[in-house]
Chain A
Amino acid sequence: MEYLPNWKVPSMLSIMESSSVQQNPDDPRSVLAVADQARQRLAAGLRLPTGLHPALAAAVAVQLGTAAYGIANHAAAGLVVALAGVAVFLGVAALSLHQFRRINGVRVDGLASQIVLGAGATSTMAYVGAFGAAAWAAFESRWWLVVAAAVAGGVGYAFGSLRWWHAYRHDPAAHAGGASPRVLATLAVLACLGLVTLLVAG
């Protein structure tokens, strides 16, 4: 803009900055409303990867089922199966988060926490309840019950994630935060170590 006279630059920038929504810069209510609308516009435009919740439900079900089998089976094969289940879950979670970021051009740590950690109450309760039931069923060799508990846990976990998504769309600022990627990676490693310890000690 070197060719423009100085007095023209502020007015030009002002025009470029103007939003399609009418606002009065002297009215705090209007200024806040326009800023909130911009935030809602971003949140409303975000899309989840296709099939995210079914894939998440399946991955959690696989992880639960293999973990229950691994705990009940005190052989090396059990450990391998349990670790394979964890790998499937982490692979699906990582791919889903990568796709979300690629599709939308944003990163939301709250979503990562929901998918990887099942941070919501619904997901946590579904996971813990299903894990307990599946482990008990595996020790009793009731394999149909292991599968049923794992599927129920997966569906509950995905449902919790879906509930969080609706809450986020309603109030994005309140739900955007979550564990950072570094914390998530650390927790994932700790979970793997814990599982290995449990299997080896068992």
Chain B
Amino acid sequence: MAELDPLIHAPARLQVVTTLSAVSEAEFATLRAVLKVSDSVLSKHVSALAEAGYVHSRKGVRAGRRTTWIGLTKAGREALREHVAALRQLIDRVN
């Protein structure tokens, strides 16, 4: 039976990893715009996820500007899959 992952249980953090699952890497600014959060909030979540090994980040350059690219790791994708499965089981149980 799948288990809820406390690290991505917070709705905002679940949104970060779910959104990242649509791409291989996203620029920090792109992710911030899609999630409609501030730099500091996104940075806080990305740091926590990176510390757990769920995301990786690297510095890059886009249109002459220094940027940060973020992507889900294999562990992050697996954690998301497990967490979503656990949530669906909860939903099924309620139904």
Contact = CB atoms under 8 A, between A and B. Distances in A.
A42 B37 contact: no
A104 interface: yes
A176 B12 contact: no
B15 A19 contact: yes
A20 interface: yes
Nearest to B23: A106
A29 interface: yes
Interface string B9-37: 00110110011011111110110001111
Contacts of A39: 18-19, 21-22
- Of A23, A34, A106, A173, most B-chain CB atoms within 10 Å: A106
Interface in A154-200: 172-173, 176-178
A35 B81 CA distance: 13
Q: How large is the interface on A (under 10, 10 to 19, 20 to 34, 35 or more residues)?
A: 20 to 34
Contact of A173 (B15, B21, B71): B21
A106 B67 CA distance: 12
Contact of A38 (B34, B44, B88, B90): B34
A42 B34 contact: yes
A107 B24 contact: yes
A17 B12 contact: yes
A41 B11 contact: no
Nearest to A104: B30
B50 to A, nearest CB: 18
B1 interface: no
A172 B18 CA distance: 10
Given A29-B91, A34-B11, A105 B62 contact: yes
A106 B84 contact: no
A51 interface: no
24 contacts: A13-B41, A16-B38, A17-B41, A20-B36, A28-B87, A28-B91, A28-B94, A29-B91, A38-B34, A38-B35, A39-B18, A39-B19, A41-B19, A42-B22, A42-B26, A104-B30, A105-B29, A106-B25, A106-B26, A107-B25, A108-B24, A109-B24, A110-B24, A172-B21
CB-CB nearest 3 A-B residue pairs: A105-B30, A172-B22, A105-B27
Given A41-B19, A105-B62, A107-B26, 4 more contacts: A32-B14, A36-B18, A42-B22, A107-B25
